[in-house]
């Protein structure tokens, strides 16, 4: 299915009339699109662009079809993780080790 939302009114109608669910399809540019809809409340549209296949462009809309914010999510399997050096794991103390009796 192809999704096109040229204006706030078309988005508001979709939000009001469609059931809460996840919808998959393509947008007017042929890009893979996921719509996370909460009927009557709003939606998040996530698009995978051809030039950034491991990144979602995410746009949130309110019930009136107005854009609230735009952000990006990456696929954690391809994104290098930076270790948390601010809060290192505590070192084990000798008193933490319990001796086993057999």
Q: Under 8 Å CB-to-CB from 61, ≥6 apart: which residues?
A: 11, 15, 42, 43, 44, 45, 67, 68
How high is the pLDDT of residue 72?
93
How high is the pLDDT of residue 28?
85
Q: Exposed, middle or buried, 5 (CB in 10 Å: 0-12/13-18/19+)? A: buried
How many of the other CB atoms lie within 10 Å of CB of 29? 10
How high is the pLDDT of residue 79?
47
The one-digit pLDDT tens for each residue of the chain (102 residues) are: 788 888 999 999 999 999 999 999 998 888 999 999 999 999 999 999 888 888 999 999 999 999 999 999 987 655 444 454 554 555 555 555 555 555
């Amino acid at each position: 299915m192809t999704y096109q939302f040229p204006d706030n009114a078309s988005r508001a109608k979709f939000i009001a009339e469609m059931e809460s669910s996840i919808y998959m399809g393509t947008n007017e540019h042929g890009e893979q699109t996921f719509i996370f809809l909460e009927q009557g409340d709003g939606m998040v549209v996530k698009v995978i662009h051809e030039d950034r296949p491991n990144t979602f462009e995410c746009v949130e809309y309110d019930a009136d079809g107005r854009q609230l914010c735009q952000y990006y999510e990456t696929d954690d399997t391809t994104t290098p993780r930076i270790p948390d050096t601010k809060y290192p794991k505590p070192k084990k103390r000798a008193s933490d080790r319990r001796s086993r009796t057999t």
